[in-house]
């Protein structure tokens, strides 16, 4: 997929698919904390985020199958909130080569993903996938927009909407 390029009908440019994947820098709730307080209340790295030593987030991937690119997925980089016991277990397994053998954890998406309805708080399974890869999320709400997209997939051209989500585009994929 790294070499897959697509012509964008929105901006008129060619993009490599892996460069277009939407990724959230932090959980949405971090931005509800006044900026002056964030330095003292939020600890974050590329992989984890802890708020007030009470809320725990893991950077993860939501995969959407590409209908017209069999075997390929478009990835959404989102944050998932887990409880303290799950966070400790994930932290303990983080560098373990066999981490993918652990059963999935219950988590909740911590970002609102454009074109996917209300996703902040949506219940998911978080599966550890390996030392050098981000955990994968699978929605438990099959009737949600995101659940349907994970089950049915999207077309390659639909990925352009995520790249340009801040523009005035129709809400549905």
Token duo for residue 159: 């990925």
In this structure, is residue 171 part of a structural domain?
Answer: no
Report which of 121, 151, 154 is spatially closest to residue 138, judged by C-alpha positions: 151
Consecutive sets of 10 residues in the chain, 173 residues long: mean pLDDT of each?
60 66 91 95 96 98 92 92 98 96 98 90 97 96 93 85 55 48
pLDDT for the residue 105: 98
In this structure, is residue 116 part of a structural domain?
Answer: yes
Q: How many CB atoms lie within 10 A of CB 173?
A: 18
> What is the span of the domain harbouring residue 64?
23-154
C-alpha dist (Å) from residue 144 to 1, 111, 133: 27, 15, 26
Residue with tokens 């904390």, as numbered in its chain: 33
Number of domains in the chain: 1
pLDDT for the residue 114: 86
pTM score: 0.85
pLDDT for the residue 167: 44
């Amino acid at each position: 997929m790294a070499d897959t390029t697509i012509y964008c009908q929105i901006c008129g440019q060619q993009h490599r698919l892996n460069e277009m994947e939407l990724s959230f820098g932090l959980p949405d709730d971090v931005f509800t904390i006044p900026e002056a307080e964030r330095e003292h209340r939020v600890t974050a790295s590329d992989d984890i985020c802890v708020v007030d030593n009470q809320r725990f987030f893991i950077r993860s991937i939501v995969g959407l199958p590409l209908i017209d690119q069999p075997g390929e997925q478009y990835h959404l980089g989102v944050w998932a909130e887990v409880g303290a016991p799950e966070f400790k277990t994930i932290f303990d397994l983080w560098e373990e080569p066999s981490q993918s053998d652990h059963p999935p954890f219950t988590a909740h998406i911590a970002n609102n993903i454009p074109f996917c309805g209300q996703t902040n708080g949506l219940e998911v399974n978080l599966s550890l996938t390996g030392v050098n890869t981000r955990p994968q999320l699978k929605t438990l709400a099959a009737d949600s927009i995101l659940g349907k997209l994970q089950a049915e997939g999207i077309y390659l051209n639909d990925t352009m909407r995520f790249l340009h989500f801040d523009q005035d585009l129709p809400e549905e994929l």
